[in-house]
Chains A and B, each alone.
Chain A
Amino acid sequence: MFKMFLFSLKNLFSKPATLPEGTEKPKQYRGLIKYYEETCIYCKKCEMVCPPGAIIFTYPEDGSKRLIFHYNPYLCIYCGECVRACPKPGTLVQVEDTAPPATAQDKPNDLWFEVEKEAVESKKIWQEARRKKRNK
């Protein structure tokens, strides 16, 4: 007990252990996923491997091959599996930032549920459009 008391006294005069506000993060942190469309080949491998389903591709109405990438930073578990699965290095990059805290105004979940629905519906329209194109 006496020993602990001495330690406490020592702590009174030593530097605080608390990190001050705005301390920089270590460089190696696994954070958000960044997507660069230029090199993407739309293989949808990242959508398939993502454990929580935070990556969804929706389909354009005109039936072109360029799919639209959606990523939900609030659902992502930052495992980095999509980056490793990607056959074109540089399309998906894991950066060090984290998602900002979401408040009631942002309503991220409502928007995301719409995207999930849209992905299913737009696929039908897209397939229809593809079929028409092929028949022409």
Chain B
Amino acid sequence: MLTKFLDFFGWARANSPWMVHYCSGCCSLEILALMGPRFDWERYGFMPVPSPRQADFIVITGLISRKVLPVLLMTYDQMPKPRYVFAIGSCAFDGGPYYDSTSVVTNVPEILPPDVFVAGCPPTPEAILEGLLEMKKIIREKREARAEREGTWKEILKQELEKNPLLSQQPFFVGG
């Protein structure tokens, strides 16, 4: 009986995954195209929300630079569990064309491993939608997010905060 009831939560979550819109690269345009009427992701229950506090998953759109990494990790830190990571674009994979640049984080999959990764430069909305449906399955089966299991993001965030204590004094910051 109890397990059935818990299943209900997975089903409910999977049918209304909300996203925090975290844009850092040019792939975020295709996410906006998804919001439009032509690809219409709301028919599957996806929705952008303004605050990470309400979000179920975060989208890494393209590259992550060093300066933006603490912002990303803090945004992720503020999300309630269970939380999932969705990454699109070659830059999120290995830095893409900037793989030897000194100011781009090339090991994002180690720091914050995505649960679903969609390739492309940028991927088409159809491909992103396919990936999102894949993630719906993961939420449905209540698999643990990969970032919680094997990511090193907690240590990295701690290091970043030690390096730059001003970050933690932001009005909306709650450490975790």
Residues of chain A at the chain B interface (Cβ within 8 Å): 16-19, 23, 25, 29, 51-54, 73-79, 98-104, 108-109, 112
Contact = CB atoms under 8 A, between A and B. Distances in A.
Contacts of B146: 104
A18 B96 contact: no
A24 to B, nearest CB: 10
A74 B126 CA distance: 16
Given A18-B43, A74-B90, A76-B90, A101 B131 contact: yes
Q: Please report whether the interface of chain A is mostly helix, strand, loop or mixed according to DSSP.
A: loop
- 8 closest cross-chain pairs (CB), A and B: A101-B131, A77-B121, A99-B119, A74-B119, A18-B40, A102-B117, A51-B97, A104-B146
A25 B126 contact: yes
B90 A52 contact: yes
Contact of B37 (A17, A23, A100): A17
Nearest to B108: A109
A125 B141 CA distance: 46
Contacts of A99: 119-120
B94 A52 contact: yes
16 contacts: A17-B38, A18-B37, A25-B124, A51-B97, A74-B117, A77-B96, A98-B120, A98-B123, A99-B119, A101-B116, A101-B118, A101-B127, A102-B118, A104-B115, A108-B117, A112-B94
Contacts of B109: 109
A109 B93 contact: yes
Contact of A52 (B38, B97, B113, B127): B97
Nearest to B145: A104
Interface string B95-119: 1110100000000010001011111
B119 A103 contact: no
Contacts of A109: 93-94, 109
Contacts of B134: 101, 103
B117 A98 contact: no
